[in-house]
Amino acid sequence: MNMVAEKKLTEKKINPTAMRLLVLDSLLKQHSAISLSDIEKSLETADRITIYRTLKTFEEKGLIHIIDDGTGSPKYALCAESCDANQHHDLHVHFYCAECKETFCLSNSKIPEVALPDNFTSTEMNLVVKGVCSKCKN
């Protein structure tokens, strides 16, 4: 059993079931954001609905965030430690590589503050930069 995954789940007050441990272990092994279908392929014995519900729980508890990279398929990545069930604190830029089709969290590149008119209220922000990643460029 992956002790790191179990610790992360208990820290976020998520019951560490076998499926949740498998899904989190799959996310921990990634170097880029991953789609539901990619997780499903890596966990051949799990059904799509169970994985989706697990990801939804992880997102609600501040363990992962969802990235809309414009591909039509949401991607999932681990959150910063400071995220919790009340609020995500990881407003960073995401990078989508047009070559390898991977989406990366650029945690050190923060989304700039956007001045909205007085009668507008922001509930979520997403900034995706598209181009070619360093791996594909070389």
Binding residues for Fe cation: 88, 90
User: Quick check: helix, strand or coil at residue 60?
Assistant: helix
DSSP character string of 1-32: --HHHHHHHHHTT----HHHHHHHHHHHT-SS
Which segments are annotated as binding site?
Answer: 88, 90, 97, 100, 133, 136
Q: Tell me the angle at which helices 18-28 and 48-60 cross, rounded to the nearest 10 degrees.
A: 70
Residue stretches of the annotated binding site for Zn(2+): 97, 100, 133, 136
Give the distance, in angstroms, between the CA of residue 109 and the centroid of all CA atoms in the same chain: 16
Q: Where are the beta strands (DSSP E) in 2-137?
A: 34-35, 64-67, 75-78, 92-97, 103-110, 128-131
